[in-house]
Amino acid sequence: MDSDDYWADEPDVVRLAAADPKHSKDPALALSELNALVSQGSRGAMLNLGFAHEQGIGTKKDPAQAEQLYRRAADTRICAGLL
């Protein structure tokens, strides 16, 4: 999959970019946005939300939840989500 294919499958690239909890002034709001995007099938949101749970950004650390999100992203054909 080339990078054009990756972005073509994202439901809302603008929202995804704005919902990065690592750079957000309101990580809780970013996580809410990521959850909404995950429900729409956003691979990028799955990865970002997994990272937030792994690192405890805007939420408590939850390695099991992070792994679940990474695996879900991997199941959608994106290699970056593989453990």
Half-sphere exposure at residue 40, Cβ-oriented, CA atoms within 13 angstroms: 16
- pLDDT score for 35: 96
Indicate the helix (H) or strand (E) that contains 46. helix 43-55
- pLDDT score for 20: 87
Total domain count for the chain?
A: 1
What's this model's pTM, rounded to 2 decimal places? 0.82
Q: Cα–Cα distances in Å, from 20 out to 2, 33, 37, 74?
A: 22, 9, 12, 19
pLDDT tens for the chain, 83 residues: list them. 555 566 778 889 999 988 988 888 898 899 999 999 999 999 999 999 999 999 999 999 999 999 999 999 988 865 554 55
Q: Which domain holds residue 72?
A: 3-81
